[in-house]
Amino acid sequence: MARKFLYIVAVIIVLVIVGLIALRVWSRELTELALVPTTEFVEQSPLEANAYQDPDLWFSRPGIGLDDPARWQPAYRDEGRAIPAPDEEAPGDFAVFFVHPTSYYSRAQWNAPREDEEANNTARLFIRGLASPFNQASEIWAPRYRQAAIGAFLTDKPEAQQALDAAYADVAQAFAFFRQTVDEDTPIVLVGHSQGALHMLRLIREELDDAALRERLVAAYIIGWPISVERDLPALGLPACATQQQTGCILSWSTFAEPADPSDLLETYANSTGFDGEKRGTTDIVCTNPLTGRFGGEASADRNLGTLVPDGDMSSGELVPGSVPARCDERGLLLIGDPPEMGSYVLPGNNYHVYDIPLFWANTQADVAARVEAWKAQP
């Protein structure tokens, strides 16, 4: 009986080892199998011309009040006790247009249905953590849009680009309403993370062709999506921010703890086509150090004004100062040293993509305030 039991244990061990090897060798294929939709792409009907007049098509916008997730303000941790954040003077009137990252993980459709409750609730959580550093703005606008499913980023099927095009059409329509509604003298800040960053890059290329609108741009925070210094920036017509006093520029970073394995990101980046029509290859990636607001460089943890450490379900959290450093490496990736305890959503390779902004929550808030003041100080 004992021998039979040992045989069973041995078989289980072998199966586990084989499973781990299969997961390592075929992890990308298995991920695609689990997340890429197998259904046909369904053309999305265009929204009505005045669709974004409807407050229900916005997660955040003026008038929502206490239910606006972007208006959430975390507290600082003080010896285990939460205390209110320092009462600093707000930088005054400015408007933020924020596009949330992917929150639709189903493979049932290529684009998220507007009424998908799970995707919408997840989007609200993302906005709570990612858009709240901009909560000193007089206006924050974050549209609901028929985002592409997560599987669209895991395949080169033509349906993936169709889904992204459909999602962008909603974002562009929402931005058109934002432009019409916000006072023409109000400076604007553009923010996008992950899929939201991808759409924001296209928005900059296609919609920021108006000289007067570009003059109103304080900065564009294009986070969690690699931008090529050589292949992309010239076509965008905006430089990378060199200092915290610069305006009309782009900030971008993609965060990894160490030891970092960014091979999947770098392989996808190398094989992608830049805005100039050439392969991005091994060209430098834009890396803003969020602790300094400068292009490149290194800063120790004591420069971190507050990392938003989430609770278990990501619905709340506390600001912890001085806990996470940051340095841009030679590839253009942002490295943060030993893996900090941020929760269970760290991606393989020590990729802290989900936490790109929360890791530097208070510095991001201070950065946008400084740039708004710099914009206002210009003649």
Residue-range domain boundaries for the chain: 27-377
pTM, whole model, 2 decimals? 0.90
Residue holding tokens 């915290």?
A: 244
Is 287 in a helix, a strand, or coil? coil
Q: What is the pLDDT of residue 236?
A: 96
The per-residue pLDDT for range 294-328, each reduced to its tens digit, is 999 999 999 999 999 998 777 889 999 999 999 99
Percentage of residues in the chain having pLDDT higher than 90: 81
Q: What is the pLDDT of residue 210?
A: 84
CA 342 – CA 330 distance, rounded (Å): 25
Q: What is the 3-state secondary structure (H, E, C) of 155-211?
A: CCCHHHHHHHHHHHHHHHHHHHHHHHHCCCCCCEEEEEECHHHHHHHHHHHHHCCCH
Q: Report whether pLDDT(53) > 70.
A: yes
**CA 41 to each of CA 14, 46, 145, 149, 295: distance values in angstroms, whole numbers, following the listed order:** 41, 15, 17, 11, 40
Q: What is the pLDDT of residue 16?
A: 39
Average pLDDT over residues 15-29: 44
The per-residue pLDDT for range 75-123, each reduced to its tens digit, is 998 745 444 444 455 666 999 999 999 999 999 999 999 999 999 999 9
Average pLDDT over residues 282-292: 98
Q: What is the mean pLDDT of the chain?
A: 90
Beta bridge partners of 95: 139, 188
Q: What is the pLDDT of residue 10?
A: 43
Where does the pLDDT of residue 181 fall: very low under 50, low under 70, confident under 90, or very high at 90 and above? very high
Average pLDDT over residues 329-342: 97
Query: Strand ranges (DSSP E) for 277-375?
Result: 288-289, 294-295, 298-299, 307-310, 317-320, 326-328, 334-335
The per-residue pLDDT for range 121-175, each reduced to its tens digit, is 999 999 999 999 999 999 999 999 999 999 999 999 999 999 999 999 999 999 9
Q: Report whether pLDDT(32) > 80.
A: no
**CA 257 to each of CA 54, 169, 326, 344, 351: distance values in angstroms, whole numbers, following the listed order:** 42, 35, 10, 14, 7
The per-residue pLDDT for range 193-204, each reduced to its tens digit, is 999 999 999 999
Q: What is the pLDDT of residue 90?
A: 60
Percentage of residues in the chain having pLDDT higher than 70: 88
Where does the pLDDT of residue 65 fall: very low under 50, low under 70, confident under 90, or very high at 90 and above? confident
Q: What is the pLDDT of residue 99?
A: 98
Residue holding tokens 């980023």?
A: 153
**In the chain, what is the greatest distance between 2 CA atoms, to the nearest angstrom?**
88
Instruction: Tell me the H-state helices in 26-86.
Output: 27-35
